[in-house]
């Protein structure tokens, strides 16, 4: 048995780079949903390929990840997802159903290739005082 035996049984380690403040043009590379292994919390994410960036930490071709996760308030989790999908599908948020969310995160990947502008900026939660990154997506037609 060689030193590389079993390599086909492991997943390659992928380092996520989260969205940081800046102005970007991005192309959707992948959309997925699932549950965090450690906490079993549901998540929804989009991997975004950088086309243009004013943040020197991200250059053309880099991949960054936008993710929302169910924490304390389900309402905000669902609002994030609805906002992202309605923007990328150029439809009203009322048209984003559970079936639509399942479809966009399916193996068919209907949103892959769509281009968006993304403005990301730091915000402070008025109740907790914690800082977080806000995301403003716009579809490029």
Q: Mind listing the pLDDT tens digit for each residue in 74-118? A: 999 999 999 999 999 999 999 999 999 999 999 999 999 999 999
Residue 118 lies in a domain: yes
Indicate whether 98 belongs to any domain.
yes
Q: What is the pLDDT of residue 14?
A: 65
Question: Would you call 87 helix, strand, or coil by DSSP?
Answer: helix
State the residue range of the domain holding 57.
15-139
Residue 4 pLDDT greater than 90, yes or no: no
Residue 72 lies in a domain: yes
Does residue 4 lie within any of the structural domains?
A: no
Is the pLDDT reported for residue 123 higher than 90?
yes
- Residue 120 confidence class, pLDDT cut points 50, 70, 90: very high
Q: How confident is the model at residue 19 (pLDDT cuts 50, 70, 90)?
A: very high
Confidence at 71, pLDDT banded by 50, 70, 90: confident
Number of domains, the chain: 1
Task: Answer yes or no: is 3 within a domain.
Answer: no
- Predicted pLDDT of residue 116: 98
Which pLDDT belongs to residue 16? 78
Cα angle 65, 70, 71 (rounded to 5 degrees) comes to 115
Identify the pLDDT of residue 13: 65
SS3 call for 103: helix
Radius of gyration of the chain (CA): 17
Q: Does residue 129 contact residue 36 with C-beta atoms inside 8 Å?
A: no
> Per the domain annotation, does 1 fall within a domain?
no
In a domain, 74, yes or no: yes
**Domain assignment present for 6:** no
- Return the beta strands (E) in the chain as ranges: 22-35, 42-53, 63-69, 115-124, 131-139
CATH number for the domain harbouring residue 125: 2.40.50
Q: How far apart are CA 110 and CA 104, in angstroms?
A: 6
Mean of the per-residue pLDDT values of the chain: 93
Give the length of the chain. Answer: 141
Q: What is the pTM of this model?
A: 0.87
For residues 15-33, give the mean pLDDT. 94
């Amino acid at each position: 048995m060689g030193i590389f035996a079993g390599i086909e049984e492991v997943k390659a380690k992928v380092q996520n780079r989260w969205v940081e403040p800046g102005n970007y043009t991005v192309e959707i590379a992948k959309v997925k949903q699932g549950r965090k292994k450690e906490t079993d919390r549901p998540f929804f994410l989009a991997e975004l390929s950088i086309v243009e960036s004013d943040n020197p930490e991200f250059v053309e071709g880099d991949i960054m990840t936008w993710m929302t996760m169910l924490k304390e308030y389900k309402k905000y989790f669902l609002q994030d997802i609805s906002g992202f999908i309605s923007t990328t599908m150029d439809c009203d948020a009322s048209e984003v159903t559970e079936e639509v969310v399942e479809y966009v995160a399916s193996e068919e990947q209907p949103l892959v290739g769509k281009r968006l502008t993304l403005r990301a900026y730091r915000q402070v939660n008025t109740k907790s005082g914690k800082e977080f990154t806000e995301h403003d997506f716009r579809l490029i037609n």
